[in-house]
Structure 1
Amino acid sequence: MPDLPLQWNTTTAAGAEWAADFTLLDDDGTLMAIDGKGFEFVIRPTVVDTASPPLIKVTATPTVQGYITVDVVAATVQVVLTPTATALLGKGSRPFALWMDPGQPAATCLVEGRFNSRPAASV
């Protein structure tokens, strides 16, 4: 992907399910070969926070916070956060990052930005 990491901001209601799809492209615009790659999406209180675990962390293994779905043919990564995860955020703006091969020497931050959340009215 050219000019990594891609800068992108998003907003959701706290306590709502959130999902985003990312198509991964090489510098020449062709689909990136992502077979065998691992992915991780994290939200942290600040950009310098290194606490483990992060405030929110999802991978291809589903948890109460969400999951990542990878389509190697279409070179897409879908990130889904559950209402449980977004409820942790309340009102505010926090940094997030989508990583490819996290924890590896070739770890690459694909997308980063601000994850904005706001309270929603009760039903």
Structure 2
Amino acid sequence: MRRLIVVLVLAVFLAACGDSPGEQQHNDVITDAMSSALTARDDVVDAEIVYQNNLDASASAAVKVTVAEGADPRPVADEVVRLLWTSTLTPLNGVSVSVWDVTDNKRSDVRIMSFKDAATRSDLEAELGPRPVT
């Protein structure tokens, strides 16, 4: 009996962790729109944004962008951060942004950010305004 209770409690706990299928679908629509906005740029070859909110990756977004040969990765990385910060993805605590040149992976801009960090939040709010969601 005790084992059954433990199993039931564990099942309820795991079910409560992460997004529901409906929430994940909603978040996929948001990340797809951001990816499309990035690939519409002349300097972007490919963009992939993955949002996860589960036991493996809690409230995080991983972004991989390939820019055209010779393009400056920094303004693209700035745009990715802006898109994420101003998005309605929620919760969003951690962000990993990787932007690199299609022909030279040494030309890159990689950023790991915590939107929970007070200094990071303050800097982004000063530059981009508050997040539209909390």
Q: Which one has the bigger strand percentage?
A: 1
Larger Rg: 2
Q: State TM-score, norm by structure 2.
A: 0.28
Q: Which one has the bigger helix percentage?
A: 2
Higher relative CO (CA 8 A, sep ≥ 6), structure 1 or 2?
1
